[in-house]
Chain A
Amino acid sequence: MESSERIARRFEAARAEGRPALIVYLTAGDPCPERTPSLALALERGGADILELGVPFSDPIADGPVIQQASDRALKAGTTVERVLEIAAEIRRRSEIPIVLFSYLNPLLRYGFDRLCGDARTAGVDGVLVTDLSVEEAEEPAESLRRHGLDRIFLAAPTSTDRRLDLVARYSSGFVYVVSRTGVTGARDTVNRAVEDLVRRLRARTPLPLAVGFGISRREHVEEVGRYADGAVVGSAVMRVVDESADGVLEERLEGLCRELSGKR
């Protein structure tokens, strides 16, 4: 099946406007599954170009405290993989924003990876990123994703060797997620300068858009990353707002955060 092209088109549109695409992560089910579609739409109103919809997992080894706690809350609120797919379908009914499922491998394996791909595509999901799935182990899952027309998004890291970047470039579609620094997810005051070099090394290997994430939390970070990359990913800053805002103003706050991040006044 052909890819939906939603992701590619969003990157092209942003490029045409001379700005980086704003990719926003949201843990599905926090504070409760019923609320997630409305939060996602608020992010889009504020200027999010692409939604990374996080599947909560009990043991998120790549996440810092903010997203760990968001996952815990989502699980306590009864969020399952099936429920995340319903959430994606609900968002798709109301919006054309590209949706990337962002997950650890085990919940997807348990659901059945191939079945997951089929159901995700039906729900209107455009791509999948599995945090703990390295390209080495990805042969079969990548084939399922391809067959169901889903973009395959892999991570590139500051520690990746040239050989590994070759593999990442070969396996990826949609975009490549460039991890800005060694560490777990979480907001930081500055963006690691060394990521520019990593972006350059990847450019030599792939025509795909490159999005930089980890530690990005402010407009100035997005602008800085936008000078050399095609997109900026914001996660913990969003989930912190979800955690800290009063229930009645959640949508308003998230929209405001994205407005600020995107520079859309």
Chain B
Amino acid sequence: MNEKVMQVPDERGHFGPYGGRFVPETLMAPLEELERAFREAQQDPEFHRELKELLETYAGRPTPLYEARRLGAELGGARIFLKREDLLHTGAHKINNCLGQILLARRMGKRRIIAETGAGQHGVATATVCALFGMECVVYMGEEDMRRQRLNVFRMRLLGAKVVPVRTGSRTLKDAVSEAMRDWVTNVETTHYLLGSALGAHPYPLMVREFHRVTGEEARRQVLERTGRLPDAVIACVGGGSNAIGIFSAFIPDERVALIGVEAGGRSLAPGEHAARFAGGAPGVLQGAYSYLLQNGDGQVLLTHSVSAGLDYALVGPEHAWLHDQGRAEYVSASDREALEAARRLARTEGIIPALESAHAVAEAIRRAPAAKGQIFLVNLSGRGDKDTDIYRENFPELDQNDGIE
């Protein structure tokens, strides 16, 4: 298994049967151009130097590895280490990928940047790098997500981006991706599509993984330094799969390290109530890639639900499908309620309010830790929870009594 798992994707972007390039012909040449630019940049020391400098001086890398001792003690089992991607500039891991892609866009001479966003974290990170490089920025966002992530909508606008509401379908992330693709197919000459997860047509899943690989490489080094050994399990939430593949990638060759992806279990695992692709999906094609997809018997894409906008998407990134089928990674789900409770628990034991997405990973660590005495868990804390304050307020009304003060 090992050799095969490590050498994906092939030159056409296939992770075993998954991935590939399923787009209208108009987008094929631009994808080829992007792939060429990416491969050239990978060979260019100056590109790496500039990216490294931005990651360190602008984004705040390396991020700390923090041991959640009080949480660990309460659970009485595994030691839990948090990779603090929430401390990055803009508040989530998304900035790693955005800095990489904006440098590529500049190399390709594209001055207009478009992006989709769910939770708004990728939109904010994109708006940020566009401000930094003086580029035009248009972000597509489902109307439903604009409602539940209002703060991020405002942040994007403050950063100079145009936020375009998407009113088709479920008005969430999937529909925002479709609108961004329609914009791209119309404006390919001038525009780079800064896709925010390990999704879409080749080379995006490869490229996004490579830009997030830094998380895993740092974390692996840090865990070794601190504990003298590798972790027993690496746990990350999986929307499209970028923060997860970023931290997993450094550990894939370490066969004894369990890789655990946590999908959104939503309200229940009934169709339409969740976004757990590995629990309720089957292989299919959506928005450029072949992977596990939540779909009905007629190949129509199902609506999804998650309390966390960033995990609310019908397709999982193709490399995760491959890791799943190879048995190299395991995929589980955490419900809305479990994620909310995990967030509150982390806040109270460690003084860290996580993003709802990341809270799904924390929930899985909480579930497993008691039975894992002597083990080390590494959890990717992909983002911070400020953006989710309104949702936390709605869900913990008992904390929102203002003693009668209006």
User: Interface range on chain B: under 10, 10 to 19, 20 to 34, or 35 or more?
Assistant: 35 or more
Interface membership of B30, Cβ < 8 A:
yes
Interface membership of A15, Cβ < 8 A:
no
Report the minimum CB–CB distance from A125 to chain B (whole Å): 17
Report the minimum CB–CB distance from A197 to chain B (whole Å): 15
Q: Is B286 touching A59 in the complex (CB atoms < 8 A)? A: yes
Q: Is B300 touching A182 in the complex (CB atoms < 8 A)? A: no
CB-defined contacts of A110 to chain B, threshold 8 Å: 282, 284, 295, 297-299
Q: A58-B169, A59-B174, A80-B298 are in contact. Are A161 and B187 (CB under 8 A)?
A: no
Q: Is A137 touching B21 in the complex (CB atoms < 8 A)? A: yes
CB-defined contacts of A175 to chain B, threshold 8 Å: none
What does the 1/0 interface line of B14-57 toward A look like (CB < 8 Å)? 00000011111111111010000000000000000000000000
Interface membership of B301, Cβ < 8 A:
yes
What does the 1/0 interface line of A159-188 toward B look like (CB < 8 Å)? 111001000100000000001001110000
Query: CA separation between A156 and B24, bound complex, in Å?
Result: 9
Taking CB atoms and an 8 Å cut-off, the chain B residues in 333-355 that contact chain A are none
Q: A61-B181, A182-B188, A184-B182 are in contact. Are A160 and B25 (CB under 8 A)?
A: yes
Q: Is A159 touching B24 in the complex (CB atoms < 8 A)? A: no
Q: Is B185 touching A183 in the complex (CB atoms < 8 A)? A: yes
Q: Is B22 touching A132 in the complex (CB atoms < 8 A)? A: yes
Task: Name the contact of B24 in the complex, choosing from A59, A61, A75 (C-beta under 8 A).
Answer: A61
Interface membership of A107, Cβ < 8 A:
yes
Query: CA separation between A57 and B30, bound complex, in Å?
Result: 25
Query: CA separation between A213 and B175, bound complex, in Å?
Result: 25
- The chain A residue with its CB closest to the CB of B302 is A58
Report the minimum CB–CB distance from A55 to chain B (whole Å): 9
Q: Is B299 touching A182 in the complex (CB atoms < 8 A)? A: no
Task: Name the contact of B25 in the complex, choosing from A60, A106, A168 (C-beta under 8 A).
Answer: A168
Q: A61-B287, A133-B22 are in contact. Are A75 and B300 (CB under 8 A)?
A: yes
CB-defined contacts of B293 to chain A, threshold 8 Å: 106
CB-defined contacts of B386 to chain A, threshold 8 Å: none
Taking CB atoms and an 8 Å cut-off, the chain A residues in 96-155 that contact chain B are 104-111, 131-134, 136-137, 154-155
CB-defined contacts of A60 to chain B, threshold 8 Å: 178
Q: Is A159 touching B28 in the complex (CB atoms < 8 A)? A: yes
Task: Name the contact of A156 in the complex, choosing from B20, B25, B298 (C-beta under 8 A).
Answer: B25
Interface membership of A256, Cβ < 8 A:
no
CB-defined contacts of B301 to chain A, threshold 8 Å: 58-59, 106
Q: Is B25 touching A81 in the complex (CB atoms < 8 A)? A: no
Interface membership of A62, Cβ < 8 A:
yes
- The chain A residue with its CB closest to the CB of B180 is A61
Q: Is B186 touching A183 in the complex (CB atoms < 8 A)? A: yes
Q: A132-B285, A137-B21 are in contact. Are A159 and B188 (CB under 8 A)?
A: yes
Query: CA separation between A133 and B24, bound complex, in Å?
Result: 7
Q: Is A132 touching B24 in the complex (CB atoms < 8 A)? A: yes
- The chain B residue with its CB closest to the CB of A156 is B25
Query: CA separation between A57 and B189, bound complex, in Å?
Result: 28
Report the minimum CB–CB distance from B208 to chain A (whole Å): 19
Report the minimum CB–CB distance from A213 to chain B (whole Å): 12
Interface membership of A8, Cβ < 8 A:
no
Interface membership of A68, Cβ < 8 A:
yes
Q: Is A134 touching B23 in the complex (CB atoms < 8 A)? A: yes
Q: A106-B295, A136-B12 are in contact. Are A59 and B178 (CB under 8 A)?
A: yes
Q: Is B21 touching A161 in the complex (CB atoms < 8 A)? A: no
CB-defined contacts of B298 to chain A, threshold 8 Å: 80-82, 107, 110-111
- The chain A residue with its CB closest to the CB of B182 is A184
What does the 1/0 interface line of B163-203 toward A look like (CB < 8 Å)? 00000110000110010011001111100000000000000
Query: CA separation between A168 and B22, bound complex, in Å?
Result: 15
Interface membership of A241, Cβ < 8 A:
no
Report the minimum CB–CB distance from A75 to chain B (whole Å): 6
Interface membership of A32, Cβ < 8 A:
no
Query: CA separation between A61 and B186, bound complex, in Å?
Result: 11
CB-defined contacts of A137 to chain B, threshold 8 Å: 20-22
Q: Is A68 touching B24 in the complex (CB atoms < 8 A)? A: no
Report the minimum CB–CB distance from B168 to chain A (whole Å): 6
Q: Is B29 touching A164 in the complex (CB atoms < 8 A)? A: yes
Query: CA separation between A179 and B185, bound complex, in Å?
Result: 12
Interface membership of A157, Cβ < 8 A:
yes
Taking CB atoms and an 8 Å cut-off, the chain B residues in 267-302 that contact chain A are 282, 284-288, 293, 295, 297-301
Across chains A and B, which 4 residue pairs bring their CB atoms closest together, nearest first? A110-B299, A107-B299, A157-B26, A155-B25
Residues of A within 8 A of B (CB): 57-62, 64, 68, 75, 80-82, 104-111, 131-134, 136-137, 154-161, 164, 168, 179, 182-184
Write 15 A-B pairs (CB below 8 A) sorted by A numbering: A57-B299, A58-B169, A58-B301, A59-B287, A59-B301, A61-B23, A64-B182, A107-B300, A132-B23, A132-B285, A134-B22, A134-B23, A136-B21, A137-B20, A154-B25
